Amino acid sequence: MPSILDVADEVVATVTAQFAAVTTCTRKYRPNLTLEQMDPATITATVVPKDKNRSILTASTSQRDMEIDLAIQKKLITENDLSESDPLTKLLESIEDYFWLRKLPSTGATCVKAKYQPIFSQEMMQTQNSFTGVLTLTFRFIG
């Protein structure tokens, strides 16, 4: 059975391969970019293993649900500019659409739930003029 780290690593590989707009995608334990580390010309994705639940389905079968946070971060050039923020929100939605009900080939885990928390951080936008959006993907493995 795949570990949560296996699933997170496969999400990193998939985002890197499928989304050219994302400049860098890495796995970390928290998306901790500072404003000084952000560049208005780059979009950074950080994949964070978040939560794991295991339950019994039958005497010999269990279900594992693994939550993976995917954060998109970018320093904004202009404050409160929809032309900068809207494409980042659409990128998060495109990533959600790509993974939704998709079975990851290496781990066999299937994305069964997606939620935004928040779709973007108002605090980061107000205090650091940066976009930080978080998409939580839940992958299920039955075996």
Look at residue 59 and tell me whether its pLDDT is greater than 80. yes
Q: Are 9 and 27 in contact (CB under 8 A)?
A: yes
Query: What confidence score (pLDDT) does residue 1 get?
Result: 82
The model's pTM:
0.92
Range of the domain at 33: 4-142
The residue to which tokens 């978040």 are assigned: 50
SS3 116: strand
Query: What confidence score (pLDDT) does residue 97 get?
Result: 98
CATH of the domain at 115: 3.30.2000.30
Number of compact structural domains in the chain: 1
Look at residue 68 and tell me whether its pLDDT is greater than 80. yes
Look at residue 118 and tell me whether its pLDDT is greater than 80. no
